[in-house]
Homo-oligomer: A and B are copies of this chain.
Amino acid sequence: MGNQKASQDTIKRLFVYYRTIEESYSSNVISSEELAKLTGFPATLIRKDLSFFGEFGTPGKGYYTEKLIPHLKKILGLDRDWDVVLVGIGNLGKALLTYPKFKMHGFRINLLFDSDPDKIGKTCAGLKINDIAAIKEELAYFSNGNSKKIAILTVPAKVAQEVTNILVDAGIKAILNFAPTQLFVPQGIAVSNIDVSNEMARLTYNLNQDFLINVN
């Protein structure tokens, strides 16, 4: 707790604990052993992860879900809604736009951008596709108390850095990057990369090994 920093792997597991209890557990108390069975993570790791953020239960009995769930949501920033801009309205962008889990977790995609003149001005899932060149002006309207804005980037790799610079300049503070390239951002901007080819390569690497393991 306090000033110590949780690892990104811990954060990923916290989300899994939260999602698992929320979706497939109904009792008031859950033990680390029960949560281990549901998630596949070792009970000792679960206890270590959760103790890092405070006390949510009684030793020997378990965690009180009514206490734990709101706390996990708060830690993860899921106790509020987030406005999200989507940049790049190709097949992947469109799939994410209608991804039901986003709305459920409070991620509301409500601004779309593209640079393709054939797409600009058209509508997708009820939202107008805006010109990326006008992102600063559009983002100025885009505020309902959220000072920190998130962008999902699904543009081709070769323009991703240029678009990232525009996003950062326009005040975006976090980027979920699907473009298969490394992004360079100033300090203070959070970037998370999802590269499906890289994940595939991890699998083929593992298929090439004698020892096969569950890689995530």
Chain A interface (Cβ < 8 Å from any Cβ of B): 5, 8, 11-12, 14-16, 19-20, 23, 38-40, 75-78, 82, 84, 90-92, 94-96, 98-99, 101-102, 104-105, 107, 148, 150, 157, 173-176, 180-182, 184-185, 187-208, 211-216
Contact = CB atoms under 8 A, between A and B. Distances in A.
28 contacts: A8-B202, A12-B202, A14-B205, A15-B195, A15-B197, A15-B198, A16-B198, A19-B180, A19-B197, A20-B182, A23-B181, A77-B201, A77-B208, A84-B200, A91-B94, A92-B95, A99-B196, A101-B196, A102-B197, A107-B200, A174-B203, A176-B203, A185-B214, A188-B212, A189-B212, A190-B213, A190-B214, A192-B203
Contact of A216 (B105, B181, B191, B206): B191
Contacts of A198: 12, 15-16, 19
Given A76-B205, A204-B77, A205-B75, A215 B180 contact: no
A191 B215 contact: yes
